[in-house]
Amino acid sequence: MEKRSVNIQIDHREEAFYSDSISIIHNPSKFILDFKQNTPRIDQIQGKTQETIAVKHKVIILDPKFVKIFLGTLKKAIDGYEKKHGKIKLPKAPKKPQMSEVVTGIEEGYIG
């Protein structure tokens, strides 16, 4: 059998992306993982102080079979992490908001 060599180039220009939120959507042919980064800011607009939340996101589209493989790999990684560093503790789920606390609608100007 003939030996062949393959050159692999890795593009390191893309910086790592920290995500503090994720949305997952699926249809019969794909899963769409939308990783989001929410950053609160205080802006001065026409002399008034306004709180702004800047949202960046990175979308990953995966084949359903690969998602299943990814889930197994992620589970193994979490198990290894917890053996080495201890159990990952999740925050308690917040109580359900009362009707007076529910906000409806989409903020004007949201792009996403």
Q: Which of 57, 49, 53 is nearest to 22 (CA)?
A: 57
Q: Which amino acid is present at 42?
A: I
Give CA–CA dist 41/33, Å, rounded: 25
Give CA–CA dist 50/43, Å, rounded: 5
pLDDT, residue 48, reads 87
pLDDT in tens, the chain (112 residues): 788 888 888 888 888 889 999 999 999 999 999 999 998 888 888 888 888 888 899 999 999 999 999 999 999 999 999 999 999 998 887 776 655 544 444 444 444 4
